[in-house]
Structure 1
């Protein structure tokens, strides 16, 4: 509870309200936050004059601009701090019904701001305005993660690009989030993807990316209406930023070709994305729920002769004609690496000749295993391998009836 012990001294500054309105409008901050900052600045100047140990508070009238400056004293039964507290007896000399816990308010005369006090007040206001701006910026962008934004390169620091996003907000494209060999100058237009917004000690940070896989997804969503309308779905993306990318698409409408829709008339849609990504080559792949089909599509433009899936190890062997090997692997393994990222499978590529040699070696190894382990001749061992047995244990636990059903086997064997 607060009580005035005498008539409050005040002095009107209607221009304060005009300044608060102007700053609030220019910075996009609540007027009340500006006035609170002004009150704290006046409060600090008052304590500088009368002593920092005093509980001095300032109040600006929201309608007239009048400034009230006063010292607050707490009524206490046992005084622990003589500067901020007053005994009950002394309080009742000023106010008859003063109660413990109540605050007596001693109005103070107006203070004239000296050079140092004015600088201090200005620093407090600037700091509070900056904090309010940061809060507003964080509130505005924290729910925009995943959006593509346009901005202007404000400055470049050690390869990091500071981007002016308009509305007094800045984002940063760090060097490792840029497309390799890409260079921006001050004033260049920058289109990027918001992948994170975090509160940090120096204020909220808006992290932007141009090499994020979801940046490509967002660009295609903007260029292809069928993706925006959820008729076509992007299932996965693999990128080697600035060089090459693969994107897997599927259509929920069987009458619409997802690959053709993403390419566009004369390649117009995909070329718009390619141009934004500094000429990055994009392979648009038809997605399939059948892993083998999907992987064959993902290895395009190479032709595939045969695939062998190992679902337990999540690995696939891909056999290609000899003249397709370099195309399937790609320069520095790029094609097979992107196909592996796109499909989520480990891919081993071999030529038909290599595959044949590998199968023959496996056949010989297994045959010898049965010869040694079962004490049978080579012909019987080869028959077991041909029937698909791969270990002695498999043969040991198979019913005799099934073994005798194999051509070339009888009860004696």
Structure 2
């Protein structure tokens, strides 16, 4: 492809199952040139020449995009995508496809989704629209039940809270009261009462969690460690982490959770504090803070980490946008 040789078109990413299939992300630095069309050639002449050299290895040529979600939608072709939810922090992406597109999105023996994952560098979860609907309904019912039991309210009030985006007691207890009062059917008095009940419920939950943790033998230093709630301490104690030293030896992924690849398949590692929405960055900060407190790490390490995050944010904001095809 002469345009690649001349630098007008660039191959940004490649993923292959040698001898079977490849996916290639390309971009054009000339708006008048279609990168995919140039690589395919007239009636496929250019790409077919390469396919012939590779003994019939199929090649999917995909327009590269600096937006990870958009690039992934392209990478999953020929499957159609209904919805994408991107988690920047964990570099995971959830893709929802029509029911009849599931097998196409996954591909034979998982080849299509595997190559798309390699091409984008993202962990991909694929589900059908029906599966997503079932999950959302289950989450809605679970959160409704939580508010009904913890706040001692009827189903309608609980459903209103969930529908407005409230997912935890902490959100109800500590959100600006005006946000609660603004819900249709609520007023200032209702909001005040709901917050009082939420805080009372949280105090009871925390007291029971602390009692359980102490019964398991947790040490005072871990209980007093800033950043851990009593319920987090209970979760740690139930897994055998009873001291600040044991906590400081944890890896960030052990706390926040993540994914590993075993025999070519992604396997979920559930974090000890994952259910409390502790991110990987927060877990890393907690562990480092514990190590500093114990004298294992120089306090300047935390300052360097903080400065690095700030510099990275500045670099991101100053970066020039890449040309798009």
Q: TM tier, shorter chain?
A: 0.5 to 0.7
- 2:114 equivalent in structure 1: 337
1:376 shift after superposition: 2.4
Q: Secondary structure at the match of 1:294?
A: helix
Question: What count of residue pairs does the alignment treat as equivalent?
Answer: 190
Check the 8 A contact 2:181/2:188 in 1, yes or no.
yes
- 2:143 equivalent in structure 1: 366
Q: Secondary structure at the match of 1:412?
A: helix
**Match for residue 60 of structure 2 among 255, 265, 283:** 283
Q: Secondary structure at the match of 2:188?
A: coil
**Match for residue 9 of structure 2 among 228, 232, 243:** 232
- 1:401 equivalent in structure 2: 178
Task: Select the structure with the greater relative contact order (CA < 8 A; seq sep ≥ 6).
Answer: 2
Q: Secondary structure at the match of 2:33?
A: coil
- 2:189 equivalent in structure 1: 412
- 1:328 equivalent in structure 2: 105
Between the aligned partners of 1:402 and 1:376, the Cα distance in structure 2 is: 18
Deviations 1:127-154 (A, max 9, x none): xxxxxxxxxxxxxxxxxxxxxxxxxxxx
1:296 equivalent in alignment to 2:296: no
More helix by proportion, 1 or 2?
A: 2
Between the aligned partners of 1:311 and 1:369, the Cα distance in structure 2 is: 29
Between the aligned partners of 2:146 and 2:13, the Cα distance in structure 1 is: 43
- 2:319 equivalent in structure 1: none
Aligned 1:93-242 pairs, distance under 5 A: 224-242=1-19
1:408 shift after superposition: 2.2
Q: Give the unaligned 5+ runs of structure 2.
A: 191-325
Which range is displaced more, 293-302 or 370-379? 370-379
1:352 equivalent in alignment to 2:126: no
1:290 shift after superposition: 1.8
1:373 shift after superposition: 2.7
Structure 1 residues 233 and 350, CA, compared in 2 at 3 Å: closer, same or farther? same
Between the aligned partners of 1:312 and 1:408, the Cα distance in structure 2 is: 37
Which structure's CA Rg is the greater one?
1
1:274 equivalent in alignment to 2:51: yes
Between the aligned partners of 2:5 and 2:173, the Cα distance in structure 1 is: 59
- 1:72 equivalent in structure 2: none
Between the aligned partners of 1:252 and 1:288, the Cα distance in structure 2 is: 12
Between the aligned partners of 1:243 and 1:232, the Cα distance in structure 2 is: 25
Check the 8 A contact 2:178/2:188 in 1, yes or no.
no
Q: Give the unaligned 5+ runs of structure 1.
A: 1-223
- 2:277 equivalent in structure 1: none
> Structure 1 length normalisation: TM-score?
0.45
1:394 shift after superposition: 1.6
1:309 equivalent in alignment to 2:86: yes
More strand by proportion, 1 or 2?
A: 1
CA RMSD in angstroms, aligned pairs only? 1.3
**Match for residue 246 of structure 1 among 12, 19, 23:** 23
Between the aligned partners of 2:156 and 2:136, the Cα distance in structure 1 is: 18
1:312 shift after superposition: 2.3
> Structure 2 length normalisation: TM-score?
0.56
Between the aligned partners of 1:241 and 1:259, the Cα distance in structure 2 is: 21
